[in-house]
Amino acid sequence: MDENLPMFAIAIASELAGMHPQTLRQYDRMGLVSPKRTAGQSRRYTMRDVVQLREIARLGGEGVSLEGIRRVLDLENHVAALQARVRELETALADELLHRPGRRVFAAGESGDVIPLRAGTRARKNTQVVIWRPQNH
């Protein structure tokens, strides 16, 4: 089941969250939980909304103010969005690595420096002849 699918009317969402429907309306006005709207402007709650409503009830039961709850929810939503973005970027990177191999070609120079190369080319080899003669002491 998609947790972001708006499918619960306010009566069902309030029952699932263990709250009065008027409380859900108040939280909507305050911006704590903002359900989607149908064409007729009826509220439709997602499973994620219901989970947030339960979290509001839990935090409120622990004595956290509504402003504190708003901040906690904002931070949790921000973290969830960042985690989704990280997953998206990881997928894009994996896709890039799988479907475009050989795009990052390099060689090491004599002093250990990195020499970038175009795909299909080779590093130039040093073909100088060096004669070594031991020193006599």
For the chain, give me the number of helices (H) and strands (E)?
Answer: 4, 4
Model pLDDT, residue 101: 61
**Cβ neighbours of residue 54 under 8 Å, at least 6 residues apart?**
17, 18
Answer with the residue of higher pLDDT: 51 or 123: 51
Query: Could you tell me if 13 and 24 are in contact, meaning their C-beta atoms sit under 8 angstroms apart?
Result: yes
Please classify residue 88 by burial: count the beta carbons closer than 10 Å to its beta carbon, then call 0-12 exposed, 13-18 middle and 19+ buried: exposed
pTM for this prediction: 0.61
By three-state DSSP, how is residue 103 classified? coil
Q: What is the pLDDT of residues 69-83, one digit of tens each?
A: 999 999 988 999 999
Q: Which domains does the chain have, with CATH numbers?
A: 10-79 (1.10.1660.10)
Phi/psi-derived region of residue 102, left when phi > 0, alpha when psi is between -120 and 50, beta in every other case: left
Amino acid identity of residue 45, one-letter, is: Y
Residue 40 — pLDDT band, cuts 50, 70, 90?
Answer: very high
